[in-house]
């Protein structure tokens, strides 16, 4: 279901890893992720390359494990707060995989995926929390978002992000 455009990313990088949502689907869930490529390292363009199917498997030993994945997210918030958009909010990004939220399967169908550049076991930056709060507020104005969940909540046992380093009370306080 299309929405009015209110989110203003710093940059848009089009990902081919997207498709149409099922007809008449309301977007009611935001799924929060964390990612760093290589794991535990920040900066560079590896995340962009992963989401655009251009990650060189020979550039780092870990990349050989993930280069063939066809994944994306609607948004990425870098450590400095930069907001990148990979998939329009009206389209389905491929971020949650096999997933379920409150008994509803296939979370990609009805969710927005937001990646934070970070690791499960580390802290996130002040800039990331501030940008995430602004993004959630913008998305709530444009979409009938009712729920925020961790990737680990929608894919328990399979995913652990954004992990214990993410301060949910801090985010929720910023949203009030």
d(CA 23, CA 16): 20
* CA dist., res. 39 & res. 117, Å (int): 10
* Helix and strand element counts for the chain (H, E): 5, 10
Nearest to 9 by CA among 70, 99, 88: 88
CA distance 36 to 23: 33
Spatial separation of the C-alpha atoms in residues 7 and 113, rounded to whole Å: 14
Q: Which of 65, 115, 117, 127 is catalytic?
A: 115
115 catalytic residue (yes or no): yes
Q: Residue for token digits 């251009």?
A: 54
Give the SS3 label for residue 141: helix
Q: Catalogue the active-site residues.
A: 115
């Amino acid at each position: 279901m299309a929405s009015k455009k209110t989110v203003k990313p710093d940059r848009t990088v089009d990902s081919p890893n997207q498709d149409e949502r099922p007809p008449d689907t309301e977007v009611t869930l935001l799924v929060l992720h964390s990612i760093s490529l290589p794991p535990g390292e920040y900066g560079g363009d590896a995340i962009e390359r992963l989401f655009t199917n251009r990650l060189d498997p020979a550039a780092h030993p870990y990349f050989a494990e993930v280069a063939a994945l066809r994944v994306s997210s609607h948004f990425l918030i870098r450590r400095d707060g930069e907001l990148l958009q990979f998939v329009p909010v009206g389209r389905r990004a491929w971020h949650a995989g096999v997933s379920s939220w409150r008994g509803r399967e296939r979370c990609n169908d009805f969710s927005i995926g937001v990646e934070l550049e970070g690791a499960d076991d580390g802290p996130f930056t002040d800039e990331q929390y501030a940008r995430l709060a602004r993004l959630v507020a913008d998305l709530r104005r444009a979409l009938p978002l009712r729920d925020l969940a961790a990737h680990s909540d929608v894919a328990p046992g399979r995913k652990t992000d954004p992990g214990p380093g993410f301060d949910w009370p801090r985010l929720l306080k910023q949203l009030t």
